[in-house]
Amino acid sequence: MPDSTIATEPASTGAVTTGAVGSPTAAVLEQILDARHSCRAFTSEIVAEETIEQILRMAQRTASWCNSQAWQVDLVSGDATAAFSTALMDHVMSNDMRSDLPIPERYEGVYGDRRRASGFGLYSALGIERSDHEARSRQMLENYRFFGAPHVAIITTDAGLGTYGAIDCGAYVSTFLTAATSLGVATCAQAALALYSDGVREHLRIPEDRLIVCGIAFGYADTAHPANAFRTERADLSDVVRRHG
Ligand SMILES: Cc1cc2nc3c(=O)[nH]c(=O)nc-3n(C[C@H](O)[C@H](O)[C@H](O)COP(=O)(O)O)c2cc1C
Protein backbone atom coordinates (compact mmCIF):
# COMPACT_ATOMS: atom_id res chain seq x y z
CA MET A 1 0.00 0.00 0.00
CA PRO A 2 1.13 3.59 -0.50
CA ASP A 3 3.33 5.06 2.21
CA SER A 4 0.89 6.91 4.46
CA THR A 5 3.63 8.93 6.16
CA ILE A 6 3.50 11.36 3.24
CA ALA A 7 0.58 13.79 3.20
CA THR A 8 -1.38 13.00 0.06
CA GLU A 9 -2.93 16.46 -0.33
CA PRO A 10 -1.18 19.84 -0.27
CA ALA A 11 -2.06 21.92 2.78
CA SER A 12 -3.89 24.40 0.55
CA THR A 13 -6.53 23.58 -2.00
CA GLY A 14 -7.05 25.41 -5.27
CA ALA A 15 -4.28 27.04 -7.30
CA VAL A 16 -0.68 25.91 -6.77
CA THR A 17 1.09 28.49 -4.62
CA THR A 18 4.72 28.92 -5.61
CA GLY A 19 7.35 31.57 -5.18
CA ALA A 20 7.61 31.97 -1.43
CA VAL A 21 9.84 30.22 1.08
CA GLY A 22 7.52 28.16 3.23
CA SER A 23 4.75 28.01 0.61
CA PRO A 24 2.57 24.90 1.04
CA THR A 25 3.69 23.63 -2.36
CA ALA A 26 7.38 23.89 -1.47
CA ALA A 27 6.71 22.25 1.89
CA VAL A 28 4.98 19.29 0.21
CA LEU A 29 7.78 18.94 -2.35
CA GLU A 30 10.42 19.05 0.38
CA GLN A 31 8.49 16.39 2.30
CA ILE A 32 8.45 14.17 -0.80
CA LEU A 33 12.17 14.72 -1.47
CA ASP A 34 12.97 13.90 2.18
CA ALA A 35 10.79 10.79 2.10
CA ARG A 36 12.36 9.30 -1.04
CA HIS A 37 15.02 6.73 -0.47
CA SER A 38 16.27 3.67 -2.30
CA CYS A 39 14.07 0.71 -1.44
CA ARG A 40 15.86 -2.65 -1.50
CA ALA A 41 13.03 -4.95 -0.44
CA PHE A 42 9.58 -4.80 -2.03
CA THR A 43 6.32 -6.62 -1.43
CA SER A 44 4.77 -8.46 -4.36
CA GLU A 45 1.79 -6.07 -4.48
CA ILE A 46 1.45 -4.68 -7.99
CA VAL A 47 1.02 -0.97 -8.65
CA ALA A 48 -2.32 -0.04 -10.22
CA GLU A 49 -2.16 0.86 -13.89
CA GLU A 50 -3.52 4.37 -13.28
CA THR A 51 -0.78 5.01 -10.71
CA ILE A 52 1.90 3.85 -13.15
CA GLU A 53 0.37 6.07 -15.84
CA GLN A 54 0.51 9.07 -13.51
CA ILE A 55 4.16 8.43 -12.63
CA LEU A 56 5.01 8.19 -16.34
CA ARG A 57 3.00 11.34 -17.12
CA MET A 58 4.75 13.31 -14.39
CA ALA A 59 8.19 12.01 -15.38
CA GLN A 60 7.45 13.01 -18.96
CA ARG A 61 7.46 16.69 -17.81
CA THR A 62 11.24 16.45 -17.24
CA ALA A 63 13.29 19.23 -18.84
CA SER A 64 15.77 18.11 -21.50
CA TRP A 65 18.35 19.52 -23.88
CA CYS A 66 16.43 21.32 -26.68
CA ASN A 67 13.39 19.37 -25.42
CA SER A 68 14.83 16.34 -27.19
CA GLN A 69 13.42 13.95 -24.52
CA ALA A 70 16.18 11.43 -25.14
CA TRP A 71 14.66 8.82 -22.81
CA GLN A 72 12.64 5.78 -23.70
CA VAL A 73 11.24 3.38 -21.17
CA ASP A 74 10.86 -0.40 -21.38
CA LEU A 75 8.35 -1.19 -18.66
CA VAL A 76 8.30 -4.73 -17.33
CA SER A 77 5.47 -5.92 -15.04
CA GLY A 78 3.82 -9.03 -13.66
CA ASP A 79 4.97 -12.43 -14.96
CA ALA A 80 7.30 -10.67 -17.40
CA THR A 81 9.26 -9.32 -14.41
CA ALA A 82 9.95 -12.83 -13.12
CA ALA A 83 10.96 -14.02 -16.61
CA PHE A 84 13.26 -10.98 -17.02
CA SER A 85 14.88 -11.65 -13.64
CA THR A 86 15.52 -15.32 -14.50
CA ALA A 87 17.05 -14.42 -17.88
CA LEU A 88 19.19 -11.67 -16.37
CA MET A 89 20.41 -13.83 -13.49
CA ASP A 90 21.45 -16.52 -16.02
CA HIS A 91 23.21 -13.88 -18.09
CA VAL A 92 25.05 -12.41 -15.08
CA MET A 93 26.24 -15.87 -13.99
CA SER A 94 27.75 -16.73 -17.36
CA ASN A 95 28.87 -13.45 -18.93
CA ASP A 96 31.28 -10.62 -18.23
CA MET A 97 30.01 -7.18 -17.36
CA ARG A 98 29.55 -4.86 -20.29
CA SER A 99 28.01 -1.44 -19.98
CA ASP A 100 26.84 0.67 -22.93
CA LEU A 101 27.96 3.79 -21.04
CA PRO A 102 31.54 4.11 -19.79
CA ILE A 103 31.75 3.47 -16.04
CA PRO A 104 34.15 5.22 -13.63
CA GLU A 105 37.43 3.33 -13.18
CA ARG A 106 37.52 4.27 -9.52
CA TYR A 107 35.85 6.49 -6.93
CA GLU A 108 38.54 8.60 -5.30
CA GLY A 109 38.59 10.96 -2.31
CA VAL A 110 35.17 12.04 -1.02
CA TYR A 111 33.48 9.99 -3.73
CA GLY A 112 35.14 6.82 -2.47
CA ASP A 113 34.25 7.79 1.12
CA ARG A 114 30.59 8.35 0.29
CA ARG A 115 30.40 5.17 -1.76
CA ARG A 116 31.85 3.12 1.09
CA ALA A 117 29.57 4.78 3.66
CA SER A 118 26.44 3.95 1.67
CA GLY A 119 27.59 0.34 1.10
CA PHE A 120 28.50 -0.20 4.75
CA GLY A 121 25.21 1.41 5.84
CA LEU A 122 23.35 -1.22 3.83
CA TYR A 123 25.52 -4.16 4.95
CA SER A 124 25.34 -3.11 8.57
CA ALA A 125 21.50 -2.84 8.38
CA LEU A 126 21.52 -6.38 6.97
CA GLY A 127 23.99 -7.66 9.57
CA ILE A 128 26.59 -8.45 6.88
CA GLU A 129 30.23 -8.22 8.04
CA ARG A 130 32.58 -6.21 5.81
CA SER A 131 34.76 -9.32 5.40
CA ASP A 132 31.84 -11.56 4.37
CA HIS A 133 32.38 -11.41 0.61
CA GLU A 134 29.91 -14.21 -0.07
CA ALA A 135 27.03 -12.43 1.70
CA ARG A 136 27.97 -9.19 -0.04
CA SER A 137 27.83 -10.81 -3.46
CA ARG A 138 24.50 -12.43 -2.58
CA GLN A 139 23.16 -8.98 -1.72
CA MET A 140 24.60 -7.57 -4.96
CA LEU A 141 22.75 -10.27 -6.89
CA GLU A 142 19.49 -9.05 -5.34
CA ASN A 143 19.74 -6.31 -7.98
CA TYR A 144 18.89 -8.93 -10.59
CA ARG A 145 15.79 -9.94 -8.62
CA PHE A 146 14.92 -6.24 -8.62
CA PHE A 147 14.81 -6.62 -4.82
CA GLY A 148 11.48 -8.42 -5.25
CA ALA A 149 9.79 -5.49 -7.01
CA PRO A 150 6.88 -6.43 -9.27
CA HIS A 151 7.85 -3.75 -11.82
CA VAL A 152 11.08 -2.56 -13.39
CA ALA A 153 11.56 0.25 -15.89
CA ILE A 154 14.62 0.19 -18.14
CA ILE A 155 15.68 3.67 -19.20
CA THR A 156 17.52 4.02 -22.50
CA THR A 157 18.99 6.98 -24.36
CA ASP A 158 19.57 7.59 -28.06
CA ALA A 159 23.16 6.64 -28.95
CA GLY A 160 23.51 9.68 -31.20
CA LEU A 161 22.76 12.16 -28.39
CA GLY A 162 25.88 11.21 -26.40
CA THR A 163 26.43 12.79 -23.00
CA TYR A 164 23.53 15.20 -23.49
CA GLY A 165 21.09 12.34 -23.88
CA ALA A 166 22.50 10.55 -20.81
CA ILE A 167 22.06 13.72 -18.74
CA ASP A 168 18.45 14.05 -19.91
CA CYS A 169 17.85 10.45 -18.87
CA GLY A 170 19.37 11.12 -15.44
CA ALA A 171 16.96 14.01 -15.00
CA TYR A 172 14.11 11.76 -16.12
CA VAL A 173 15.08 9.13 -13.54
CA SER A 174 15.04 11.76 -10.81
CA THR A 175 11.57 13.00 -11.76
CA PHE A 176 10.32 9.41 -11.96
CA LEU A 177 11.60 8.65 -8.44
CA THR A 178 10.06 11.84 -7.05
CA ALA A 179 6.73 11.31 -8.81
CA ALA A 180 6.55 7.71 -7.58
CA THR A 181 7.29 8.80 -4.00
CA SER A 182 4.46 11.35 -4.18
CA LEU A 183 2.13 8.43 -4.92
CA GLY A 184 3.49 6.23 -2.12
CA VAL A 185 5.37 4.03 -4.58
CA ALA A 186 8.86 2.92 -3.53
CA THR A 187 11.75 2.88 -6.00
CA CYS A 188 15.38 1.93 -6.47
CA ALA A 189 17.38 3.24 -9.42
CA GLN A 190 19.60 0.40 -10.65
CA ALA A 191 22.81 1.01 -12.59
CA ALA A 192 23.55 -2.67 -11.83
CA LEU A 193 21.20 -3.59 -14.67
CA ALA A 194 23.11 -1.41 -17.13
CA LEU A 195 26.33 -3.23 -16.19
CA TYR A 196 24.96 -6.20 -18.14
CA SER A 197 23.58 -4.28 -21.12
CA ASP A 198 23.84 -7.29 -23.45
CA GLY A 199 21.55 -9.41 -21.28
CA VAL A 200 19.00 -6.60 -20.90
CA ARG A 201 19.11 -5.76 -24.62
CA GLU A 202 18.71 -9.35 -25.71
CA HIS A 203 15.79 -10.15 -23.42
CA LEU A 204 13.83 -6.95 -24.10
CA ARG A 205 14.92 -6.72 -27.75
CA ILE A 206 16.22 -3.18 -27.29
CA PRO A 207 17.59 -1.81 -30.58
CA GLU A 208 21.35 -1.25 -30.95
CA ASP A 209 20.90 2.51 -31.32
CA ARG A 210 19.48 2.78 -27.77
CA LEU A 211 22.00 2.80 -24.91
CA ILE A 212 20.93 1.31 -21.59
CA VAL A 213 21.32 3.94 -18.85
CA CYS A 214 19.83 2.21 -15.80
CA GLY A 215 16.77 0.49 -14.44
CA ILE A 216 14.23 1.59 -11.85
CA ALA A 217 12.70 -1.13 -9.68
CA PHE A 218 9.39 0.00 -8.23
CA GLY A 219 6.47 -1.23 -6.17
CA TYR A 220 5.57 -1.07 -2.49
CA ALA A 221 8.21 -1.16 0.23
CA ASP A 222 8.51 -4.11 2.57
CA THR A 223 8.85 -1.73 5.50
CA ALA A 224 9.75 -4.50 7.96
CA HIS A 225 12.79 -5.62 5.92
CA PRO A 226 16.14 -4.54 7.42
CA ALA A 227 17.43 -3.44 3.97
CA ASN A 228 14.96 -0.58 4.17
CA ALA A 229 16.00 0.46 7.66
CA PHE A 230 18.95 2.66 6.81
CA ARG A 231 19.15 6.12 5.26
CA THR A 232 22.02 7.84 3.49
CA GLU A 233 23.28 11.30 4.35
CA ARG A 234 24.19 14.24 2.17
CA ALA A 235 27.19 16.55 2.10
CA ASP A 236 26.75 20.04 3.52
CA LEU A 237 25.83 22.76 1.06
CA SER A 238 29.20 24.37 1.78
CA ASP A 239 30.89 21.25 0.36
CA VAL A 240 29.08 21.46 -2.96
CA VAL A 241 28.26 25.13 -3.61
CA ARG A 242 30.81 27.79 -4.55
CA ARG A 243 29.26 31.22 -4.39
CA HIS A 244 30.37 34.10 -6.62
CA GLY A 245 29.04 37.55 -5.78
C1 LIG B 1 21.48 6.33 -11.51
C2 LIG B 1 21.49 5.55 -10.22
C3 LIG B 1 21.86 4.22 -10.23
C4 LIG B 1 21.82 3.47 -9.06
N5 LIG B 1 22.14 2.13 -9.09
C6 LIG B 1 21.95 1.36 -8.00
C7 LIG B 1 22.10 -0.05 -8.09
O8 LIG B 1 22.44 -0.61 -9.11
N9 LIG B 1 21.84 -0.79 -6.97
C10 LIG B 1 21.46 -0.21 -5.78
O11 LIG B 1 21.24 -0.94 -4.81
N12 LIG B 1 21.32 1.14 -5.68
C13 LIG B 1 21.53 1.92 -6.75
N14 LIG B 1 21.33 3.28 -6.69
C15 LIG B 1 20.90 3.88 -5.43
C16 LIG B 1 22.02 4.70 -4.79
O17 LIG B 1 22.92 3.85 -4.14
C18 LIG B 1 21.33 5.67 -3.80
O19 LIG B 1 20.55 6.58 -4.54
C20 LIG B 1 22.35 6.47 -2.97
O21 LIG B 1 23.10 5.63 -2.15
C22 LIG B 1 21.60 7.50 -2.11
O23 LIG B 1 20.68 6.85 -1.27
P24 LIG B 1 19.11 7.13 -1.33
O25 LIG B 1 18.63 6.86 -2.73
O26 LIG B 1 18.51 6.16 -0.35
O27 LIG B 1 18.88 8.56 -0.96
C28 LIG B 1 21.41 4.07 -7.84
C29 LIG B 1 21.05 5.42 -7.84
C30 LIG B 1 21.08 6.15 -9.01
C31 LIG B 1 20.64 7.58 -8.98
Closest approach atom of ligand 1 to CA 193: 8
DSSP 103: -
Mean pLDDT (whole number) for 147-172: 98
Closest CA to ligand 1's atom 23: 232
How many angstroms separate the CA atoms of 156 and 127, rounded? 35
Helices 109-125 and 133-141, packing angle to 10 deg? 90
More confident residue, 97 or 130: 97
Closest CA to ligand 1's atom 9: 190
Confirm if 142 and 40 have CB atoms less than 8 A apart. yes
For residue range 161-178, what is the model confidence (pLDDT) as tens digits?
A: 999 999 999 999 999 999
pLDDT tier, 145 (very low <50, low <70, confident <90, very high otherwise): very high
pLDDT above 90 for 218: yes
Tell the CATH superfamily of the 39-104+145-229 domain: NADH Oxidase (3.40.109.10)
Give the pLDDT of residue 15: 66
DSSP 98: B
Q: What is the CA radius of gyration of the chain?
A: 19
pLDDT tier, 20 (very low <50, low <70, confident <90, very high otherwise): confident
- Mean of pLDDT over the chain: 94
- Residue ranges around ligand 1 (CB below 6 Å): 37-38, 40, 118, 143, 173, 188-192, 214, 232
Largest pairwise CA distance in the chain: 56
User: If you measure from the C-alpha of residue 216 to the centroid of ligand 1, how many angstroms do you get, rounded to a whole number?
Assistant: 10
pLDDT tier, 18 (very low <50, low <70, confident <90, very high otherwise): confident
For residue range 182-206, what is the model confidence (pLDDT) as tens digits?
A: 999 999 999 999 999 999 999 999 9
Domain ranges of the chain: 39-104+145-229
